[in-house]
Amino acid sequence: MMTKTTEEGGHSRTAVFSMLVRDFMRSRSELLAVRTGTRCADMIALMAAEKASCAIIVDAGGRPIGIITEQDIARRIAYRVPGETLVETVMTSPVMTIERRDYLYHAIAWMRRHDLRHMPVVDRRGRLAGILYLHDALAVSTERLMRQIDQLSHEGTLEGLKDVKEAQVELAEELFSDNLPAPEIQQLLTRINNDMYRRIGESAMSQMAAEGWGDVPVTATTIVMGSGGRGENYLFPDQDNGFIITDYPDGEHSRMDSYFIELAERMCRDLNAVGIPYCNGYCMAVNPLWRKTLSQWIEQITLWGRKSNFVAIRLADIFFDFQPVWGNRELATELRGKVTEMVRHNHYFLRQMFQDQADHNVALGFFGGFITEKEKEEFKGQVNLKYTGTIPLVEAIRLLALREGVEETSTLERIAALNEQGVLSINEHDDLTSAFYLITDILLRKQIRDYKARRRVSYYVDPEALTKRDRVMLLEALKAINNVRKRVNMEFTAEIF
């Protein structure tokens, strides 16, 4: 079984990309904040007494409006202005801030880009919550990551976010060169993509407020489904997203829905513009099927469970891997509990789900060789390792996890949880985990090569282009996936292949 590659300090090569500002900031009690109206002489005395390298100037509501650093004192205050001068006349304003829940790598990039040693941290209401020092942030990173961090953090423009998509390919290639396992690279790609949902969504909300739409009328959360919800993105996933909206009175529907339709249209349009294309199946928040209040979602999944027809099964299959990416995450947590409760005891529904997926066969022939593409001229002789490899595995493990009440959505986490519950043996756990690692490694490396060679990026792989060792290992991986599918078929349908 493969393990994560780590570097000095025990951090994995991708750890810095999942860390949050709140985990590395100095708390409000550890910084010097002064109100407007404070005299410069008093502020300097406070800085000396508390050995502070800067002072944050806040308004009556506790929101930072300026900053004065030791360098500012030397350049602008000492021997230049009277001690009675008010701090607001010499402070640097406006002051760049960052939210507690933002990613640390954004803060590192912004501070490096603007040559800042300190950055005030604010809560969701814009009130001062703490301060981040650049040296604290850099302590968890290394110079080897600085270029990637700078490439992967832009200040909100669509052109900048397009560069983020381009930089992902180079980052993935470099992480492979450091022997990082493909699933961990997938998790990083997914985190970056999901963060783009937040940044684009919040930008759209700010633009709408400036245009007269007002603030968001009720809290909501944006969810992603499919590979994004599982943390298993390849290089160029399409959009699979939706909204869970806090319940509101029926009489408010027109006003509420108008706002969220507009937000969805802007979010999906800008995601498409930066390189996360529209979903061909229209599984996006612009579709009312994927834009509902919490109560409507609960009613919807209950209806799916009762109907168990072809359409209901297909929609549920798309939905069940959902995860929140920004907004009120409690809505997603409550809905996940309802989904788990509804599905776990609905054996007929799970049986129907498997039967709907029964033709998703593994690319393994009767005599143990590869089944390759016969119809599509461009890919003849190749194997679609997503649709005949990872998808059959994802679907089989999802069914077992739903039956056992496992709430994790990652395929590897589901396999681990099923092993802990005694549903999968240690041999099954190891075989399926190794299969997932191998197939994602082959696919992601192939996508990087195709992208750099300006070939069409797909999920097709030519077995003859693999080394003999990889061909043998791939066949063993497909056999393990085929075995778990046979087991699921027997347990859910009482049929034998």
- DSSP-assigned states of every residue in 343-387: HHT-HHHHHHHHHHTTT---SB-TTSSB----S-GGGTT-EETII
Q: What is the mean pLDDT of residues 139-145?
A: 64
Q: Which long-range contacts does 309-315 make (Cβ < 8 Å, 24+ apart)?
A: 310/356, 313/349, 313/352, 313/353, 313/356, 314/356, 315/289
In terms of pLDDT, which residue wins out, 97 or 109? 97
Statement: the pTM of the whole predicted model exceeds 0.85: no
CATH 1.20.120 domain range(s) in the chain = 351-493
Give the Cα separation of 214 and 164 in Å (integer).
30
Q: What is the per-residue pLDDT for 73?
A: 87
Residue 11 has pLDDT above 50, yes or no: no
The 10s digit of each residue's pLDDT in 415-470 is: 999 999 999 999 999 999 999 999 999 999 999 999 989 898 999 999 999 999 99
Topology of domain 351-493 in CATH is Four Helix Bundle (Hemerythrin (Met), subunit A) (1.20.120)
CATH 3.30.460.10 domain range(s) in the chain = 145-345
Topology of domain 20-139 in CATH is CBS-domain (3.10.580)
Tell me whether strands 460-461 and 383-384 are parallel, antiparallel or unpaired: antiparallel
**Confidence class of residue 79 from pLDDT cuts 50, 70 and 90?**
low
Q: What is the per-residue pLDDT for 8?
A: 41
CATH 3.10.580.10 domain range(s) in the chain = 20-139
**Confidence class of residue 157 from pLDDT cuts 50, 70 and 90?**
low
Instruction: Tell me what the pLDDT averaged over the chain comes to.
Output: 88
| H-helix or E-strand spanning residue 341 | helix 329-344
Q: Domain 145-345 carries which CATH code?
A: 3.30.460.10
